[in-house]
Structure 1
């Protein structure tokens, strides 16, 4: 499948700190021939979108629970700053669950935090945005309890994620390890990630399958990513990606559609 979207790291802080999960650029080539895929993604992102010679637009993209397939568009690039678990409410003033499946103008979010941030970032060049976010986030955690909850959430996310040398834990096991109830863990994830722990883990596993599909045989890949068996992996992949693994990796994709309309609710 020909790629019409490229990713690279923009100039930015060498160490973005614990509140930023990653920084990248999506750039659609001048004459894209193939659809591009927006993968399931459990993170919230602050995006600086540039199109042609127009003024960049500041957007917030919430967690994306299923893959979507889009037609390419000329001369579009986006600097994407991925927020770490627990950073959404301190930075944007809303819980992550309110942003699931949405793309919202940053300044349209309710409350003063987002409007102030939109003003601060709107004066910067796109490649300067990540550094500014890394600077302001620590100052927007009003209490020590917020930092403690964020640390607990990050520990839970790590335990539920696919990592080298260790399969991800189940939700009940992770709750016991962290000395919280499953109900408390679900509430923590709803506010700080936007998804349930189980749904977060499903997305993380499928993204691991996408990342390592060319390195391992299907049965081995299913085992190291925490699935019961290859059939379980295929079922989850089909649910989140819209097609089974064989179809996806041979380019037999769903028909592309227009990019999501910006939601200003």
Structure 2
């Protein structure tokens, strides 16, 4: 096997901060295009190349898909941060990393540098089991429990689930007893995109992962779209091709990896950020 991917269970002790884990190892370049789906999650990625060089990246939300040639001899572990934890753990709001990847030790603040230093000592191929030993002492940053619970309830309500359609932003605000403006501010700080944009990204990701498994009209209804045309329009906007083309492997042209932030402290103000940060792995 030239490519190995695992999604180990997040240890209980890490769940207040880490929503998901994924490890990837590429012994040889993948035969297929490496697709990065839109993703409204902030991640910390530990990556190691064939020569043993390690880097720890803070990767912000990505609002559009990108397509790349796979790389060989790379191992990485990806920590998907729980909503609302980017600020306390990394020292910057999620919106400041929108569309970007930056060396974690270049993010302003001591918290990110400590996390980068400890993670940089690990081998990504063996990091999964060791994270529960290494991280609890570093993840002591104070997270407002009430604010985090409110944000996570909003994320849950706006996400596609097998047993229901995602709620509308107005409905979520009413259910959580906050104004839509308050909900937008909460999402900008803790998720990095607006509630409406979060829902849009989540729907498109769901369509991409289920493409070919159901009729398009049924998939549109299950993911909360008004109709198939609405789904196709959203999908093309974020993925670069219509759903049918994506399912058949007719993808946009490949793009090279691009660096995100190049200088220490070069973090844009909250709410700003480009679209094409450094892809991972």
TM, length-normalised to structure 2: 0.86
1:87 aligned residue (79, 85, 88): 85
Higher helix content, 1 or 2:
1
Which digits, 9 at most, give the CA deviation of each residue in 1:36-80, with x for residues without a partner? 111100001110111103232111110011000011222122210
Aligned counterpart for 2:213 among listed residues 208, 215, 221: 215
CA deviations 1:18-39 (Å, max 9, x no partner) are 3211100233341433321111
Partner of 1:139: 140
Structure 1 contact 23–130 (Cα < 8 Å) conserved: no
- More deviation, 66-75/29-38: 29-38
Deviates more, 1:45-54 or 1:16-25: 16-25
Q: State how 1:1-265 maps to structure 2 within 5 Å.
A: 6-9=4-7, 13=11, 16-126=14-124, 127-128=127-128, 130-131=131-132, 135-136=136-137, 139-141=140-142, 146-264=144-262, 265=266
Offset, 1:141: 1.0
Query: What TM-score, normalized to structure 1?
Result: 0.91
| Structure 1 runs, 4 residues or longer, greater than 6 Å off | none
Q: Which runs of 5+ in 1 are unaligned?
A: none
Q: CA RMSD in A?
A: 2.0
Distance in 1, matches of 2:208 and 2:167, equals 20
| Match in the other structure for 2:270 | none
Q: Distance in 2 between matches of 1:228 and 1:16?
A: 38
Partners of 1:99 and 1:164 lie apart in 2 by 30
How many residue pairs are counted as aligned between the two chains?
259
Unpaired runs of at least 5, structure 2: 267-281
| Preserved contact between residue 42 and residue 200 of structure 1 (Cα < 8 Å) | yes
Q: Deviation at 1:125?
A: 3.4
